[in-house]
């Protein structure tokens, strides 16, 4: 018998993007070609990956570091760069206190170093640029969202795109120089003159949901778990359908 499984809600859409088994299972060597400081705690790492199969904005990859005794550590990292034909991908890493992998990147890594990568893995939190997108992130949660913003710009897409991003202070706002009119920053500890300090609130989300584009927003929420819980609740309260909210939790 081949009974087709009927999911109980519309959420059960598989990934929007089919993930290539091949790409998801093969480790490739990536060479670090550039390191750029973004904020006192975050830097961007650009890699040449000769066999990179390409990605969709929002997807992530796995990084694996191997010690001399064979010990390995692997972590997920969202791809920051827009898909392009350069043979490169960029990641932006927060320096996590006591972090094994982010610690290596921030204190040891230099141009020319090689690490292993695998992916892209997960087609769920992916945005090919087809539907209006409402992006909400905090801290390094802005990384996959920036890939979407960059893609939108690089392709001159006309589909509506808005981003709300929360950072502790202007100095800790990743990609600050690159953010444009599509972005509203929210500062939780210290803000520029005249900008209020405080947590992301209903007042930030409501105007965006009031100006619904035709077909409605596809919402993408990314950050720590507590931020993801908070932001997704704001969205639901403001009327965003739950099956049109995708969440990437960094843990």
Which residue among 48, 56, 76, 145 contacts another protein (CB under 8 A)?
Answer: 76
Closer CB to ligand FAD, 103 or 216, in the complex:
103
Residue 155 binds: one of ligand FAD, another protein, none (C-beta under 5 to 8 A by kind): none
Exposed, middle or buried: residue 168 (CB in 10 Å: 0-12, 13-18, 19+)?
A: middle
Q: Which two tokens stand for residue 79?
A: 């791809």
CA distance 177 to 158: 22
Please work out, in degrees rounded to the nearest 5, the angle formed at the alpha carbon of residue 144 by the alpha carbons of 55 and 159: 80
- The answer to whether 168 contacts ligand FAD (rule: CB under 6 A) is no
Closer CB to another protein, 108 or 158, in the complex:
108
Q: Which residues of 26-54 are buried (b: 16+ CB within 10 A; e: fewer)?
A: eebebebeeeeebbebbbbbbbbbeebee
DSSP-assigned beta bridge partners for residue 133:
161, 218
- The answer to whether 12 contacts another protein (rule: CB under 8 A) is yes
Closer CB to ligand FAD, 90 or 218, in the complex:
90
Per-residue H/E/C for 160-207: CEEEEEEECCHHHCCCHHHCCCCEEEEECCCCCCCCCECCCCHHHHHH
CB of 60 to ligand FAD, least distance (A): 5
Would you say 200 and 230 are in contact if contact means Cβ atoms under 8 Å apart? yes
* Main-chain phi, psi angles of 243, to 5 degrees: -80, 5
State the chain's maximal CA–CA distance in angstroms.
67
- The answer to whether 97 contacts another protein (rule: CB under 8 A) is no
Q: Which stretch binds ligand FAD (CB under 6 A): 94-102, 126-134, 202-210, 238-246?
A: 94-102
Residue 94 binds: one of another protein, ligand FAD, none (C-beta under 5 to 8 A by kind): ligand FAD
Q: Which two tokens stand for residue 194?
A: 């005249």
- The answer to whether 238 contacts another protein (rule: CB under 8 A) is no
Closer CB to another protein, 51 or 171, in the complex:
51
> For binding to ligand FAD (CB under 6 A), which residues are involved?
60, 75-78, 92-94, 96-103, 140, 143, 248, 250-251
List contacts with another protein (CB under 8 A): 1-3, 5, 7-12, 14-15, 19, 21, 24-26, 29, 62, 65-68, 70-76, 100, 104, 108-109, 113-116, 118-119, 121-125, 225, 229, 232-233, 235-236, 242-243, 245-249, 251
């Amino acid at each position: 018998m081949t009974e087709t499984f009927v999911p109980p809600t519309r959420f059960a859409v598989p990934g929007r993007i089919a993930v290539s088994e091949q790409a998801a299972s093969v480790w490739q060597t990536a060479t670090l070609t550039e390191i750029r400081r973004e904020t006192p705690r975050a830097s961007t790492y650009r890699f040449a990956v000769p066999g990179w199969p390409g990605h969709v904005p929002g997807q992530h990859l796995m990084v694996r570091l191997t010690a001399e005794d064979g010990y390995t550590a692997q972590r997920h990292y969202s791809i920051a760069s827009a898909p392009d034909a350069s043979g490169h991908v960029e990641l932006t890493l927060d320096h996590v206190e006591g972090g094994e992998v982010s610690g290596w990147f921030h204190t040891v890594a230099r141009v020319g170093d090689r690490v292993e990568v695998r992916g892209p893995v997960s087609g769920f939190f992916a945005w090919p640029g087809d539907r209006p997108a409402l992006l909400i992130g905090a801290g390094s949660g802005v990384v996959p969202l920036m890939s979407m913003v960059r893609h939108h710009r690089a392709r001159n897409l006309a589909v509506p795109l808005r981003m709300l991003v929360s950072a502790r202070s202007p100095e800790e706002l990743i990609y600050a120089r690159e953010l444009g009119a599509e972005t509203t920053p929210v500062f939780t500890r210290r803000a520029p003159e005249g900008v209020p300090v405080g947590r992301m609130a209903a007042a930030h989300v409501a105007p965006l949901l009031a100006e619904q584009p035709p077909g409605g927003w596809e919402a993408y929420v990314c950050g720590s778990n507590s931020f993801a819980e908070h932001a997704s609740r704001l969205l639901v309260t403001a009327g965003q359908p739950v099956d049109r909210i995708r969440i990437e939790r960094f843990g």
